[in-house]
Amino acid sequence: MSEPIIGSLESSPVITRHPQNPVLSSKDVPYRSALVFNAGVAKHDGKYVMLFRNDYGSLRAQRIDGTNIGLALSDDGISWEVQPKPCFTLQGEGIIHIYDPHLTIIEDRCYMSFAMDTFHGARGCIAVTEDFEDFEILTMTVPDNRNLVLFHERLNDMFVRLERPFPAYSRGKDRFDIWISESPDLRHWGNSQLLIGVEDVPFANNKIGPGTPPIKTHKGWLTIFHSVDLDPNRGKNGWEETWKKRYSAGVMLLDLEEPRKVIGLHKEPLMAPEAPYEVEGGYRNNVVFPTGMILEESGEVKIYYGAADTVVCLATAHVDDLLNLCTIWS
């Protein structure tokens, strides 16, 4: 089944890429590192805290040997200091690697959700940590699921997450959507429901997935998701010989009381790959992968994203502009 090709895409004018981009790359890391991207970011104890994906190997040989999670701290969310050692690695029977951390603070406790590739498929995991040294894994989904993002507070007494299963018997191949589930204790999850499908996003023809843990605004929960379009005619587009996808970012608004209800969606991309560090010289070019979002008291929203699966970047927007983009859902 072939999907219509999506033409050129542009970022919304409300987005400003930070002049210091990339804000984190492998050269800032004091241990083995080749690609640094897809970072979870939150404010905690007066600091900005970042958990980032660190793929180590050889940049020159374009070879990845493994992945761990690094920790970086910052006073302003722009200049980061990477801590001396990776803070999380996981090895074991059947585990291939762990990756793509998201960070959520709920009732002053720090939760990292992440993906784990195993010999039996991809699993989504949630861990809790007091000190970013020891992590206790609270839950792991059955395959295939990933891109778990938690809401920063309980709603109707339940913890809530967005997630992206990979349904093999969906509408043809690779039609992956965003789902929502809830839990009384962060360990047992259920009441799962489709939140929004690929068909609802005009700039996707392949799949969508959760991106940033939603932030609370007076109009609803604002969240940024990733959106993928495939063009079979795209040639070699990064290290990978057959990379034919483009990752953009979209923005939507969920109801404050009933987050299972999408109440707003911007029908165009919030961000499309266009800066040099997003479109060239990377592991996979044409990738903007949103993973963290912070709402400052001034109304500025800091959006952290992986660029070209190679570096961590920052973009900013005003919260009111983001809300205005989210037109009423019909």
Nearer to ligand BMA, 259 or 273 (CB): 273
Q: Write down the least CB distance from residue 212 to ligand BMA, Å.
A: 14
Q: Write down the least CB distance from residue 64 to ligand BMA, Å.
A: 12
Q: Write down the least CB distance from residue 290 to ligand BMA, Å.
A: 10
Tokens for 70, please give them: 């690094």
Dist. CA 119–CA 164, nearest whole Å: 19
Nearer to ligand BMA, 159 or 304 (CB): 304
Q: Write down the least CB distance from residue 293 to ligand BMA, Å.
A: 17
Nearer to ligand BMA, 210 or 264 (CB): 210
Query: Is residue 220 within 8 Å of 200, Cβ to Cβ?
Result: no
Bridge partners, residue 55, by sequence: 35, 67
Nearer to ligand BMA, 287 or 294 (CB): 287
Tokens for 218, please give them: 């007076």
Q: Write down the least CB distance from residue 308 to ligand BMA, Å.
A: 9
Tokens 């997935």 label which residue? 209
Q: Write down the least CB distance from residue 309 to ligand BMA, Å.
A: 5
Nearer to ligand BMA, 106 or 118 (CB): 118
Query: Is residue 322 within 8 Å of 253, Cβ to Cβ?
Result: no
Could you give the count of Cα atoms lying within 13 Å of 46 in the half-sphere of its Cβ? Answer: 0
Give the footprint of ligand BMA on this chain (CB under 6 A). Answer: 38, 99-100, 247, 284, 287, 289, 306, 309
Q: What are phi and psi of 247, to 5 degrees?
A: -105, 125
The alpha carbon of 1 is separated from its chain's Cα centroid by a whole number of angstroms, namely 28
The alpha carbon of 106 is separated from its chain's Cα centroid by a whole number of angstroms, namely 18
Please state whether the peptide bond connecting residue 144 to the residue before it is cis, i.e. omega within 30 degrees of 0.
Answer: yes
Nearer to ligand BMA, 183 or 205 (CB): 205
**Three-class SS of residue 278?**
helix
Nearer to ligand BMA, 135 or 289 (CB): 289
Tokens for 208, please give them: 């969508």
Nearest-10 Cα torsion for 199, 203, 205, 207? -80
Q: Write down the least CB distance from residue 113 to ligand BMA, Å.
A: 13
